[in-house]
Structure 1
Amino acid sequence: MSQPPTRRPRRKRGLGRIPPAARLPITLLLVLVLVIGAGAIALLGPWRDRTGEPGDASSTPEPTPSTQPSEEPSSEEPSTPAVEDATFTIGAVGDVLPHDTPIATAAADAEGGGYDFRPMLEATRPYSEGVDLMLCNFEVPLSMPGETPSGYPSFGAPEELVGNLADLGYDGCSTGTNHTLDRGADNAMYTLDVFDEHGLGHAGSARSQEEADAPQLYEIERGGQTITVAQIGGSYGTNGIPVPADAPWVISTFSPDIMDPGNYDPSELIAQATAAREAGADLVVATIHWGVEYQLAPNVEQTAMADALAESGQIDLVVGTHPHVPQPFARLDGGPDGDGMWVAWSLGNFISNQDSNCCISQTATGLFMTAAVSKPAEGPARVTRLTWTPITVDRVGQQRAYPLLDLVNGDRPGILALSESTLQQRLGEVEAIMGESTGAEFPLLGAPSEPTGDQPTVVPRVP
């Protein structure tokens, strides 16, 4: 397997200066040492004169050591860091869906064999490394050692993809999708083993009932606070693949009958969110695989599900996946303490081999979502804003993904195969979609942000 990647380094904490409360005892200690030393010299001088050899105590009695006044203990307590208001960001992209062509491109880009997806995603690195917590939707299982990776219809991605994402700054992904069981339960569970190996979190699939019952937690240190973000998830179904009777926990689903995936039941996700709050989550993000492929707006099942989740008051942010095209954002009534629940109905594709050549043109452009979070010193954590950045794939130009605005504004790599008219068309299409957003302002973010502090701690779902 690949070696664990180099992630965004944590800031080193130095020892710091000596706090004022500790300076007075240190000064008294220095005086005490000097006084004792002076007394010892005074005694040692005559002793040497009498005997001619230091340490010969036969002709003189043992000197009586002098005593010093005892110090009064300091009444000052060591200072503790002040708790301050904190802010941080959560980033997310849509479907990591490596068809055969992206897999072949990753093989060609790898040096010395294997697969390397980083060259095709390198232009997006400033965004994925520019947020404090970075999530994706890992649409497919991994191929196991000895198996040949493949795309549609039975996906099995190269395991190097997980380490590549970690190297690009990702902290975790949803893994419960309609393709989770493409290669059976063993591959689904092996996928989580590789995620663990690279230090990435995961939600929506599991290797045991205990793990299925546990939210994925991420701990973020800001302003003297430890803020816990929970990620939960699930899928509408499994493309008709039966869930193994002896491993019903392998994937979380919210359709009572996965053979009738249009029937959504929010109770499973609400139970997950409630358990996450009980586990100490300050903020709950639900990554949900729902909706209809190639539909540019949420359908009635999505909106009914979201309304129920918002009414529960347990979820702060919903990140939708599966339609393979962008859908608008919304802020719904309800949410924790009635402060609202934020929804990205669908982030579209991130890695894929889709565009107008196979599907509809909007499949070539996905969204990079950035959620701003505020956590006052004395108050709950809340999402305060969602912004979006269009990410488009040049399928013909070596499968590279780019921030679309960079290309529109004139940053044109030599391998780019997209024409000016195509770039303008894609930007117009995504702007039209996002113009249908409701409940709040959702600005287009034209440049990456910067992390506000150290990388989060990924807490294992099962210790």
Structure 2
Amino acid sequence: MRFTLLAAGDVLPHGPVNESARTADGFEYSPLLAGIDPWVEAADLALCHLEVPVAPPGVTPSGYPVFRAPHEVVRDLGEQGWDGCSTASNHAADAGFDGLAAALDALDAAGMGHVGTARDREESLAPQLYELTREDRTVTVAHLAATYGLNGFEPPEGEWSVDLIDTDRIVRQAKEARAAGADLVVVSLHDGYEYVTEPTPHQQEVTEALAGSRQVDLVIGHHAHVPQPITRLEGGPGRKGMWVAYGLGNLLSNQGPDCCVLATTAGLMMVADVVQRPGKPARVTGVRWAATTVDLAAGHRLRGTREAIAHPDQGTLSAGDLEQRLAIAQDAVGDAVDELREPPLPSGEPEPRVVPRTL
């Protein structure tokens, strides 16, 4: 049995992004996201990173510095084909407990999984599980998530509402997930220094500890808003190694050289290849990557960078601009993994089953 797992950068709807999505009666993000539709549709399991809470009912959405995203962004991620999102980030407590809960309610309404924040203690103790079935075999993937902090806020309603990075706790959660039936454990970490393409000592310390625990198969990094290296660490389940993407940059945001650094326009999608042979455990056998970028002047249209280079007439970015953004991604990722220039072939049906987060 073989399947692919797709992950991508931060979903960070700043105010100008929301204005690009605004309609007469709400918000519509599908036109902004459509440039990577083929990638999400092709993935057997697609996991996004929702960096922000959602505006509770009756509350006006807002962007930076205190985010309250329109619920429609979650709806449209689900319609695009994302199966679930990690939600642990430094902005998770921006809108208090009501905003945190509104994000999870929106994900539930979209039929998506979620992990990293919780509405009650029981939910916080449960991993997010996804079941992928092909013919007579099923592989269960557990998703865990944690963040380095909350921008000075305390976790609303208690420590259980947001998972903070604690290596011992993550390892314990991974063991509990395997005891609950997980064949593969994926961990999303919101960590690092913003706008820095190299991982911090803390990122390296945490990921090396997770690899050494032999409980985690794959680590997906977020927060820096720029691409960071993808590499394979020693350890991992069965001592077969653990792949880590230290940072996937941005998926959808308003960031660019005017506010930040040019590298914020160079996002990454990571495709992990998973194989489960008869009588053998499921393993991540390799990862590949593809570059994304956002055409801010075209109304925050998300594009696959290679596809945009091939069709520069479909946006406002010049071939030189696009080549520069691709080069930033290539330099940051390093040479441990290959670039994937076209979406992978889907392994078949049915779609993953999102297992409710209950004990």
Query: Which residue matches 1:94?
Result: 9
How far has the Cα of 1:128 moved from its partner? 0.7
**Offset from partner CA, 1:81-103 (integer Å, 9 cap, x none):** xxxxx000000111000000000
Paired residues, what number? Answer: 358
2:133 paired with 1:221? yes
Aligned residue identity for 2:182: A
Runs (4+) off by over 6 Å = none
2:345 maps to 1:434:
no
Cα offset, 1:417, TM superposition: 1.4
What's the CA shift for 1:329? 0.3
Which of 168, 189, 197 is the matching residue for 1:267?
168
Residue 106 of structure 1 is aligned with which of 17, 21, 33? Answer: 21
- Whether the 8 Å CA contact 1:189–1:250 is kept in 2: the answer is no
Give CA-to-partner distance per residue, 1:381-438, whole Å, 9 cap, x none.
000111100000111111101000012123531xx11122211211111111122x5x
| Superposition TM-score, scaled by structure 1 size | 0.76
1:249 corresponds to which letter in structure 2? W
1:208/1:247 contact within 8 Å kept: no
Aligned with residue 241 of structure 2, among 340, 362, 380: 340
Distance 1:304 1:268 in 2: 15
Distance in structure 1 (CA, Å) of the matches to 2:248 and 2:14: 18
Picking from 423, 429, 452, the partner of 2:322 is 423
8 Å contact kept, 1:233–1:286: yes
Identity %: 44
Residues 389 and 444 in structure 1, CA contact (< 8 A), matched pair in contact too: yes
1:449 and 1:428 map into 2 onto residues whose CA distance is: 22
Q: Does 1:360 align with 2:261?
A: yes
How far the C-alpha of 1:450 sits from its partner, in A, is 2.5
The TM-score normalised by the length of structure 2 is: 0.98
Residues 1:289 and 2:190 are matched in the alignment:
yes
2:162 to 216, 234, 251: 251
Kindly tell me: are residues 444 and 207 of structure 1, through their superposed partners in 2, closer, same or farther at Cα, counting changes over 3 Å? same
SS of 1:129's equivalent in the other structure is helix
Shift of 1:301: 0.5
Cα distance in 1 for residues equivalent to 2:274 and 2:115: 21
Query: Residue 251 of structure 1 aligns to which amino acid in structure 2?
Result: V
Of residues 110, 133, 146, the one that matches 2:58 is 146
Distance in structure 1 (CA, Å) of the matches to 2:32 and 2:175: 39
Q: Is the 8 A contact 2:312 2:318 kept in 1?
A: no
Structure 2: stretches of 5+ with no match in the other structure: none
Query: C-alpha separation between the residues in 2 aligned to 1:167 and 1:94?
Result: 18
Distance, in Å, in 2 between the alignment partners of 1:315 and 1:412 is 43
Structure 1 runs not aligned, ≥5 long: 1-85, 255-264
Q: What's the counterpart of residue 457 of structure 1? A: 353
1:320-343 Cα distance to aligned partner (Å, 9 max, x none): 000000001010000001010000
Verify the 8 A CA contact 2:312 2:319 in the aligned structure 1. Answer: no
Give the number of the structure whose alpha-carbon radius of gyration is greater: 1
Q: What is the distance in 2 between the residues matched to 1:190 and 1:430?
A: 34
Equivalent position of 1:278 in the other structure: 179
Residue 208 (structure 1) aligned to one of 120, 139, 152: 120
Cα distance between partner residues in 1 of 2:267 and 2:322: 13
Of 206, 218, 228 in structure 2, the residue corresponding to residue 317 of structure 1 is: 218
Q: Which amino acid aligns with 1:355?
A: G
Q: Who is 1:124 aligned against?
A: 36
In angstroms, what is the RMSD of aligned CA positions?
A: 1.1
- Cα distance in 1, alignment partners of residues 295 and 163 from structure 2: 33
* Higher RCO (CA 8 Å, separation ≥ 6 residues): 2
